[in-house]
């Protein structure tokens, strides 16, 4: 076990509310105990990790618990992965200073003080989950993700529980479209998921290299692929890559949250949200996450 000190303010229990509202087989969350457990893919292997929140919002501590046979190199990778997944180094005070100038945001900032996004374990998992979630309600999308994980059939044992492992690109690339259609995936969605995995495996998409690219370069790299549009890349940039200034303005949830926050008579259109979001630069990703969280 070791400790990680996030940049304050950091409200770990508050952060657990979103994954709790989207139950997943790959994560085990104990809200009362403020813990988050899942299998994490390292460069060497997959290891189970439990993250426990301790301290306070202004003096936060994360305890990382993992198997005793984790090497020093793997320990460093676990620490880096957890830090990235929980946005531990994000400076939320700069975000708050800018947003507090806008009176509509004052109550929401106070309500969600210390919240920051939880990113996905790795880039492949993130993109597959976003593709699955396209034009589906949250509950059914979560069901399809669970079925995909079940089809992968791999797990790691940890503290008397079996933690499912999200399928690798190689696994998914080897499936047929019918394999996913048999799990209630539409034909198109089955094609999009498997074709993306095959693009990763055959080198047409180099996921690791995406981290070195600017946002617009990532749009250029991914949007030519079937089934990947602007909204898909925006959510991937936010939940997969942790980019701070992304605005998925076409998202119905974002539009509903903006309508509620600003007391609008009608749900705003995409372009209206994009114009309004110019006031939130360079923190539009965090504003988006707070808007989504306001609906939970």
Measuring CA to CA, how many Å separate 9 from each of 16, 48, 59? 15, 27, 7
Buried b (16+ CB within 10 A) or exposed e, 136-153: eeeeebbbbbbbbbeebe
> 81, 85, 89: which is closest to 120 by C-alpha?
85
Active site residue 251: yes
Contact 141, 132 (CB under 8 A): yes
Q: Indicate which residue of 11, 120, 195, 251 is catalytic.
A: 251
Contact 227, 192 (CB under 8 A): yes
φ/ψ of residue 28, rounded to 5:
-120, 120
Give the DSSP letter of residue 63: E
Residue with tokens 């996450």: 289
User: Is the torsion defined by CA of 43, 18, 227, 187 positive or negative?
Assistant: positive
Question: What is the set of active-site residues?
Answer: 251
């Amino acid at each position: 076990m070791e400790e990680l000190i996030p940049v304050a303010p950091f409200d770990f229990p508050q952060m657990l509310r979103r994954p709790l509202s989207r139950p997943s087989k790959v994560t085990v969350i104990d809200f009362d105990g403020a813990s988050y457990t899942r299998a994490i893919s390292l460069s060497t292997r997959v290891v189970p990790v439990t993250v426990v929140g301790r301290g306070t919002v202004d003096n936060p501590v994360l305890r990382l618990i993992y198997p005793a046979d984790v090497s020093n190199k793997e320990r460093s990778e676990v620490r880096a992965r957890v830090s990235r997944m929980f946005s531990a180094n994000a400076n939320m005070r700069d975000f708050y200073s800018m947003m507090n100038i806008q009176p509509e945001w004052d109550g929401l900032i106070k309500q969600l003080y210390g919240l920051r996004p939880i990113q996905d374990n790795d880039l492949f998992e993130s993109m597959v989950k976003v593709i699955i979630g396209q034009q589906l309600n949250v509950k059914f999308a979560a069901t399809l993700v669970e079925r995909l994980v079940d089809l992968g059939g791999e797990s790691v044992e940890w503290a008397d529980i079996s933690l499912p492992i999200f399928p690798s690109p190689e696994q998914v690339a080897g499936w047929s479209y019918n394999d996913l259609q048999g799990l209630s995936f539409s034909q198109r969605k089955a094609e999009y998921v498997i074709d993306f995995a095959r693009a990763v495996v055959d080198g047409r998409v180099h996921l690791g290299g995406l981290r070195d690219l600017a946002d617009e370069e990532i749009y250029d790299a991914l949007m030519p692929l079937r089934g990947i549009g602007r909204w898909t890349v925006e959510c991937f940039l936010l939940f997969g890559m942790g980019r701070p200034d992304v605005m998925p303005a076409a998202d119905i949830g974002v539009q509903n949250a903006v309508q509620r926050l600003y007391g609008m008579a009608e749900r705003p259109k995409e372009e209206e949200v994009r114009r309004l979001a110019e006031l939130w630069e360079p923190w539009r990703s965090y504003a988006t996450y707070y808007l989504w969280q306001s609906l939970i």
